[in-house]
Amino acid sequence: MSTYNFDYLDELEAEAIHILREVAGQFEKPALLFSGGKDSITLVRLAEKAFRPGKFPFPLVHIDTGHNFEETIVYRDKMVERLGEKLIVGLVQDSINEGKVTEQTGKNASRNALQTFTLLDVIEKNQFDACIGGARRDEEKARAKERIFSVRDEFGTWDPKRQRPELWNIFNGKINKGENVRIFPISNWTELDVWNYIRRENIELPSIYFSHQRDCITRNGQLMAASPFLNMDNDDVVVKKTVRFRTVGDMSCTAAVESHAFHIDDVIAEISDSKISERGARLDDKVSEAAMEDRKKGGYF
């Protein structure tokens, strides 16, 4: 047979495109959850490869905690304009204003947990039957167990003991009324794969992924960006640091790493050498060994 160059990134890409097209074919009202992070940015590129020159068969949905890095929002709006696709924004602030959730208080307060409620609310209001997300199995032990098509009940609950068998490359997206499916096309990618893909595809990222000067404070041994969203007091000493972010979430729970990676090649070199996992920079995972499993059972992405 003829030889052709089909390396691991091509294979991961082709698998993800296949999954995205299955979503288009199997669901009435899918949506792509866009966080502004590198994983969901990668999903957008994969969706372009799956559906262009046609339109996306789904809108982008952003669950906005209101505690964003400004760079992320600027990036999001520019990207949506370039794509010409529909964006739906679900505001956690609206859920708070409507009295549906209560803002956390105290030094470690974060809106991260409240996102789940807003997400479920947006799903219900828009009657979404499938939500595509950028979660990967290498991130965390509970995620390592999750299917690519992950069925959730109307409360968004993931039941790890009731997962459907997922065989060959055949995906069963059939659901009962009230259920919806979370879909993870880049399940089999690692953090390094995502970065290598971004480099290969020359994808632009929000600037906070690269080294920059920022006012930071230290919380629980981690560097946090000083911002009005952190409940800071006199004990908090603000120091200017050269940092970048490995994941991009809510400002109140995403820690920075000291880094001089100004270019994507530096970032890839840094991750290849790194001895700390990506979710090591997420305070929300530090609570207990089963933290992610518990949050997923509660409807978290």
Partner 1 sequence: MNILKFFTAGSVDDGKSTLIGRLLYDTNSILLDQLEALQTSNRKNDDGTIDLAILTDGLRAEREQGITIDVAYKYFQTDKRKFIIADTPGHIQYTRNMITGASTANLAIILVDARNGVVEQTIRHSYLVSLLEIKHIVVCINKMDMIDYNENKFNEIVEKYKKLAEKLQLKNVQYIPISALKGDNVVQNSLNMSWYKGESLLNFLEEVNTENLEQSPLARMSVQWVIRPQTEKLHDYRGYAGRIQSGTFKVNDEIMVVPSGVRTKIDKIEFFDAQLQEAHAGQSVIIHLKDNVDMSRGDSIVNASNLTVDSKLIEADLCWMDNKPLDTSVTYLIQHNSKTARCKINEILHKVDINTLDKFSADNFSLNDIGRVILKTADLLAFDLYNDNRANGSAILIDSRSNLTVGALMFRATLD
Near partner 1 by CB under 8 A, which window of 12-20, 97-105, 235-243, 251-259? 12-20
Beta strand pairing call for 222-225 and 130-132 = unpaired
Instruction: Report if residue 18 touches partner 1, rule: CB under 8 A.
Output: yes
Q: Which two tokens stand for residue 164?
A: 């459907």
Distance of CA 219 to the CA centre of its chain: 23
Site mask for partner 1 (CB under 8 A), range 62-101, x = bound:
----------------------------------------
The CB-of-286 to partner 1 minimum distance in angstroms stands at 9
Q: How far is the CB of 166 from partner 1 (least distance, A)?
A: 6
State the binding string over 254-293 for partner 1 (x if CB under 8 A, else -).
--------------------xxxx-xx--------xx--x
Cβ 261 to partner 1 shortest distance, Å: 17
CA-nearest of 98, 99, 77, 102 to 87 is 77
Give the total of residues touching partner 1 (CB under 8 A).
63
| Interface with partner 1, residue 145, by CB under 8 A | yes
Question: Where in 105-144 is the site for partner 1 (CB under 8 A)?
Answer: 137-138, 140-144
In terms of Cα–Cα distance, which of 79, 21, 299 is closest to 204?
A: 79
Contact 224, 240 (CB under 8 A): no
- Distance separating alpha carbons of residues 227 and 35, to the nearest angstrom: 19
Task: Compute the radius of gyration of the chain from its Cα atoms.
Answer: 19
DSSP-assigned letter for residue 285: G
Output the six-digit token pair for 137.
């199995």
Among 98, 102, 161, 233, contact with partner 1 (rule: CB under 8 A): 161
Pairing assessment for the beta strands 180-183 and 239-245 based on DSSP bridges: unpaired
Q: Two tokens at 111?
A: 């809106």
Q: Among residues 70, 125, 72, 71, which one has the least CA distance to residue 94?
A: 125
Task: Please pick, from the candidates 93, 108, 190, 207, the single residue that binds partner 1 as defined by CB under 8 A.
Answer: 190
Nearer to partner 1, 5 or 105 (CB): 5
Footprint of partner 1 (CB under 8 A): 1-2, 4, 6-8, 10-15, 17-18, 21-22, 24-25, 48-55, 57, 137-138, 140-145, 160-161, 163-170, 172, 174-176, 187-188, 190, 192-193, 274-277, 279-280, 289-290, 293
